[in-house]
A and B are shown apart, each in its own frame.
Chain A
Amino acid sequence: MKRALAFAGRNQKEILRDPLSYLFCLAFPLVMLVVMTVVNESIPKESGMTVFRIEKLAPGIAVFGQTFLMLFACLSVSRDRAGSFLVRLYATPARSGDFILGYQIPMLVLGAAQTAVLYAASYVVSLIVKTPLKPLGLFWSFLSLQLSGILFISFGLIFGTLFSEKAAPGLCSIIISLSSFLGCIWFDAESLGGIMLKICKALPFFYCTKIGRSALALSFTKEAFWLPLLIVASCALVFDLAAVLIFRSRMRADLA
């Protein structure tokens, strides 16, 4: 465990010292938060378009931010694998579990910090547009979204382990676009219905935004919250396990 923490410390430092991390994981979502709020102000109320209202926008932006967490998780693994740094660590007493934990822990910490910052900013925005968010809702939403954080981080680790430094970020950007569309971050599939809604409901991203929004509204019904939560939690568990197994088998293959 101490070795995992040592490795986690190194990974955290490397990410925090990369200015791009702040740009993508914080600045970009914050800019989107402000831009979309401004856009929302110019949408006439009677249009019935609610997706950019702060109570829906904030959780959407939080999930959007997590997709960049995925990108950085992916980059930190694929960069290490491309160089000989990880190889030399393989010749130390550290084991595969230490490495995978060492990649996960800092991402979870950074993920929690990211949601916290985005929600603090959202709260301020909600005060400015005079539709204040409920602090308790923000809290529960923050907690539930850590599950989707685990899911996205697992995606990142899997891509980073399986693909090269060149291919992996590209694959991540596919997931980023997919999840922002099919996760209903920028449009409301539920009011659209039809085939689009079916596709959204077949993928986990939809449920990530859903639990964030329901928790924020404090609507803890089975339909709105618990069922989606179960789906996100199961996906997080499955993909997290997959990430561990894939990393382990890849490490074994590298040492063959």
Chain B
Amino acid sequence: MTERSFEMIKTTKLTKKYGTKTAVDGLGLCVYEGELFSLLGVNGAGKTTTIRMLSCLSKPTSGEAFVGGYSVKEAPQEVKKIIGISTQDTAVAERLTVRENLRFMASLHYTDKAKIEERTDEMIQVFRFQEVENQLAKTLSGGWQRKLSIAMALIGDPKVLFLDEPTLGLDVLARRELWKMIERIKEHRTIILTTHYMEEAEALSDRIAILQNGRLKALGTLQEIEEKAGVKGLENAFVAIAGKEESL
């Protein structure tokens, strides 16, 4: 990543409070165009909350966030045009087939019929849905539902893709396959990924951020994070950084 890349996502003092609980605390980070950026942190660290604010699903209590140059506070409608989100829970229309799910999602992004079909066919190709395309989503296995959920996030050809724990509940092989898929759909896309699997973050990320109690504890490439923690391997570095008691 060169310094001159476009800042696809930029947050300044981004904060979300739920009552007295501060879920995200003064987060300041920057994600460059085309980067795959991983947000790591233990349960409740604030990863999902951060993604929700960036995708206009939750309003920041204070601070700012820009996606593609648009403020999530001032221009959410513009932001929504360039993002795709795969939520932590699988979210598909259960009584629609795979193809119908994709087509439905496409028609929220495009008005041209031919374009809708084209994008639908493309996703069926990319995700290898040919065998299940006419199956109702509720009859798919968890892993296939997950893939469909991700394909639905991608169908609007978003500049920024949010993947909140995309490989949750997938078996080892399916996870590896999804990694390849993510590599394939990356192209020039900016991807924000959260995961609890360190080897996944290691394999996919350009840069990594580690959150603890809503605060940014470390940010950089794998090497930079290892250097900062003074240990080898992301898992060790993560334990050293996120496992450390907070000194207030």
* B-binding residues in A (CB < 8 A): 2-3, 6-7, 9-10, 13-14, 17-18, 83-85, 87-94, 255-256
In the complex, what residue of chain A is closest to B101 when comparing beta carbons? A10
Task: Say whether, besides A10-B104, A93-B108, A88 and B152 are in contact (CB < 8 Å).
Answer: yes
Residues of A close to B57: CB separation below 8 A? 87, 90-91, 255
In the complex, what residue of chain A is closest to B83 when comparing beta carbons? A91
B residues 144-179 near A (Cβ < 8 Å) are 152-153, 156
Residues of A close to B59: CB separation below 8 A? 255-256
- What is the CA–CA distance of A83 and B93 in the complex, to the nearest angstrom? 10
B74 to chain A, nearest CB (A): 15
Complex A-B: 29 CB contacts under 8 Å: A6-B108, A7-B104, A9-B104, A10-B96, A13-B96, A13-B100, A14-B94, A17-B136, A18-B95, A83-B89, A83-B91, A84-B90, A84-B91, A85-B91, A87-B91, A88-B87, A90-B56, A90-B57, A91-B57, A91-B84, A91-B85, A92-B80, A92-B108, A93-B77, A93-B80, A93-B109, A94-B108, A255-B57, A256-B58
Does B20 belong to the interface (CB within 8 Å)? Answer: no
- What is the CA–CA distance of A85 and B93 in the complex, to the nearest angstrom? 7
A76 to chain B, nearest CB (A): 11
Does B81 belong to the interface (CB within 8 Å)? Answer: yes
- What is the CA–CA distance of A113 and B77 in the complex, to the nearest angstrom? 36
Does B92 belong to the interface (CB within 8 Å)? Answer: yes
* A-binding residues in B (CB < 8 A): 55-59, 77, 80-81, 83-96, 100, 104-105, 107-109, 111, 136, 152-153, 156
Residues of A close to B83: CB separation below 8 A? 91
Task: Say whether, besides A91-B57, A255-B56, A255-B59, A85 and B92 are in contact (CB < 8 Å).
Answer: yes
Is A84 within 8 A of B108, CB to CB? no
- What is the CA–CA distance of A255 and B73 in the complex, to the nearest angstrom? 12
Is A88 within 8 A of B93, CB to CB? no
B73 to chain A, nearest CB (A): 12
Q: 4 other contacts beyond A13-B95, A84-B89, A93-B108, with CB at 8 A cut-off?
A: A87-B91, A88-B86, A88-B153, A256-B59
A10 to chain B, nearest CB (A): 5
Residues of B close to A87: CB separation below 8 A? 57, 87, 91
- What is the CA–CA distance of A243 and B29 in the complex, to the nearest angstrom? 41
Residues of B close to A17: CB separation below 8 A? 95, 136
